[in-house]
Amino acid sequence: MAIAAATPTQVSVPDQAFWKITLRLMPYLALLWCLAWIDRVNIGFAKLTMLDDLKFSEAVYGLGAGMFFLGYFFFEVPSNLLLQKIGARKTLMRITIGWGAICMAMSLVSTPTQFYVLRFLLGAFEAGFQPGVLIFLTSWYPAHRRAQAIGLFTSATAVSGIVGGPTAGYVMSGLAGAGGLTGWQWVFIIEGAVTILAGSAAWWVLKEKPVDVNWLSADEKSAVMSEIKADNDTRPDRPHRFGELMANPSFWLLTAIYFCLVAGYATVNFFGPTAIRELGFTQPTTIGWIISACSVGGAVFQILMGRHSDKHEEVRLHAAFAIAFGAVSLAGVGIFLGQGNVYLTIACLFLAISGTASAFPVFWQLPLGLFAGTAAARGRGGDQLNCEPCRLFRADIPRLHERCDRDDQRRPPRGLRGRAMRCLTHRPCAKATLGSCGPRPHQMIITAASNPSRRTGCGTAPCPG
């Protein structure tokens, strides 16, 4: 009896395997992404003294900050295509070492042209990192487990503010004049050197696929690959080719949305320290700690948003809410900063970082779920006839049956029943998804899911659903 009572609480082989994968991969990938953002936005803290030292105008700074994204734009696609050829381990190591070296070279800037060129090169080297990691994760997680993993990864975006702010403040205050260098020069040197060391470890830490590692058992590897294969099999019609991508209206819509999201988050990072200084805080260390405190919300809400999205297996509304919330809060920063209201400005800055940062993990589920292969490497888009509720429900049928067998549940989880009904009410693909299962497919699915002993239709027979 004691053994029987303990059985429901035992961890299944797939859950144990994916927990191992998360512990092995995500801390390292999150560290690299944290360093990427620190090296990307440390210019916001360097600006506090760099502009006066080099006699740069605000226009020079703004153009130089934006040159990063120009390099990112031109080199993101080539970098991701190279990842398809040489693998994630070599690509991520190349990227991190390259951008670390460029970050260190920023300490040598003395003219606007040098500033523009190095910012462009920083964007070029860093371009393929985040998309490359997200493509890499599709080889390790099925869709229904991926949002939380992406949330853990992208939470490093906000963590970079928590860590990077005080670090830059202390370096600028404590090392100013050391070795004949200014504080902002030491910021670039130290943070770039740390990135090079961390990136070099990719060769030993990362493997291409679960079957390549020695820290998963044979059963765990089989369970992981089975879930990934089942997930891929539920999405047979995703566009693979570049031409299909460019002709898909959803590609341009998602691109525009992501542009606005990144623009908002970059504004907070590039000009946040300056905004805090305008409120009357002059010490770099104090400014760093204020930015760090505001970034806590982003780190927490990224993880919570990813977990909530996974739990309810819904992406679009989560992404829309987070983006809208961040946009309204960012507008509040501008309004209250103009009024000189210290408390409301900082509060809106906290909310703006929380909203925009928490949108990243759920947003990236959209292109990853809607494109495959080369198309996923090159851009973002959607297959409107293969709607999200249908794909998610079809992917859940095996897991739902397994859960009914294990726990003897008479009804499936509420979220799965809801997705089944949303699937059937989506007219463009309901017939293609469930049409061959019989005259009343929704009754067959819910009956089979609710009572394993009466499985019919989609529960047992070969069926597109």
Q: What is the pLDDT of residues 401-445, one digit of tens each?
A: 444 444 444 444 444 434 443 443 333 343 333 333 333 333 333
Q: Record the tokens describing residue 418, joined without a space.
A: 């809801």
Tell me which DSSP letter residue 313 carries: T
Asked if 385 and 237 count as a contact pair (C-beta separation under 8 A), the reply is yes
The CA distance from 448 to 21, in Å, is 32
Query: 276 phi and psi, to 5 degrees?
Result: -65, -40
Residue 367: pLDDT above 90?
no
Share of the chain above pLDDT 90, in %: 18
Query: 236 phi and psi, to 5 degrees?
Result: -75, -20
Residue 452: pLDDT above 70?
no
- What is the tens place of the pLDDT at every residue in 352-364? 988 888 888 788 7
Average pLDDT over residues 254-263: 83
As a whole number, the mean pLDDT across the chain is: 75
pLDDT number for residue 104: 95
Measured over the CA atoms of residue 353, residue 356, residue 362 and residue 368, the dihedral's sign is: negative
Asked if 216 and 228 count as a contact pair (C-beta separation under 8 A), the reply is no
Q: Which residue has the higher pLDDT, 304 or 401?
A: 304
The CA distance from 125 to 295, in Å, is 25
The CA distance from 216 to 18, in Å, is 10
Residue 136: pLDDT above 50?
yes
The CA distance from 359 to 400, in Å, is 29
Task: Give the CA radius of gyration of the chain.
Answer: 24
Q: Is 7 exposed, middle or buried (0-12, 13-18, 19+ CB in 10 A)?
A: exposed
The residue assigned the tokens 């190349």 is 94
Asked if 132 and 90 count as a contact pair (C-beta separation under 8 A), the reply is no
pLDDT band at 58 (very low <50, low <70, confident <90, very high): confident
Q: For the chain, report the end-to-end CA distance as a whole number of angstroms.
A: 39
Q: Which residue has the higher pLDDT, 400 or 292?
A: 292
Domains of the chain: 20-378 (1.20.1250.20), 388-459 (no CATH)
The residue assigned the tokens 């589920």 is 365
pLDDT band at 314 (very low <50, low <70, confident <90, very high): confident
pLDDT band at 237 (very low <50, low <70, confident <90, very high): low
Asked if 110 and 185 count as a contact pair (C-beta separation under 8 A), the reply is no
Share of the chain above pLDDT 70, in %: 75
Whether the full predicted model's pTM is greater than 0.85, yes or no, is no
pLDDT number for residue 98: 92
Segment among 163-172, 180-189, 328-337, 375-384 with least mean pLDDT: 375-384
The CA distance from 245 to 14, in Å, is 33
Residue 3: pLDDT above 70?
no
Q: Which residue has the higher pLDDT, 238 or 226?
A: 226
pLDDT number for residue 23: 92
Considering only CA atoms, which of 434, 436, 426, 458 is closest in space to residue 445?
A: 458
Q: Record the tokens describing residue 448, joined without a space.
A: 């089979």
Average pLDDT over residues 7-36: 84
Residue 51: pLDDT above 80?
yes
Residue 344: pLDDT above 60?
yes
Considering only CA atoms, which of 135, 3, 6, 115 is closest in space to residue 60?
A: 115
143-174 vs 183-200: helix crossing angle, rounded to 10 = 140
Q: What is the 3-state secondary structure (H, E, C) of the chain?
A: CHHHHHHHHCCCHHHHHHHHHHHHHHHHHHHHHHHHHHHHHHHHHHHHHHHHHHCCCHHHHHHHHHHHHHHHHHHHHHHHHHHHHHCHHHHHHHHHHHHHHHHHHHHHCCCHHHHHHHHHHHHHHHCCHHHHHHHHHCCCCCHHHHHHHHHHHHHHHHHHHHHHHHHHHHHHHHCCCHHHCCHHHHHHHHHHHHHHHHHHCHHHHCCCCHHHCCCCCHHHHHHHHHHHHHHHHCCCCCCCCHHHHHHCHHHHHHHHHHHHHHHHHHHHHHHHHHHHHHCCCCCHHHHHHHHHHHHHHHHHHHHHHHHHHHHHCCCHHHHHHHHHHHHHHHHHHHHHHHHCCHHHHHHHHHHHHHHHHHHHHHHCHHHHHHCCHHHHHHCCCCCCCCCHHHHHHHHHHHHHHHHHHHHCCCCCCHHHHHHHHHHHHCHHHHHHHHHHHCCCHHHHHHHHHHCHHHCCHHHCCCCCC
88-105 vs 112-126: helix crossing angle, rounded to 10 = 170
Count Cβ neighbours within 10 Å for each residue of 285-298 and write b for 16 or more, e otherwise. bebbbbbbbbbbbb
- What is the tens place of the pLDDT at every residue in 65-118? 889 888 888 887 788 778 878 887 888 899 999 999 999 999 999 999 999 999
The residue assigned the tokens 């990362």 is 206
The CA distance from 450 to 272, in Å, is 53
Residue 187: pLDDT above 50?
yes
Q: Record the tokens describing residue 194, joined without a space.
A: 């740390």
The CA distance from 456 to 424, in Å, is 17
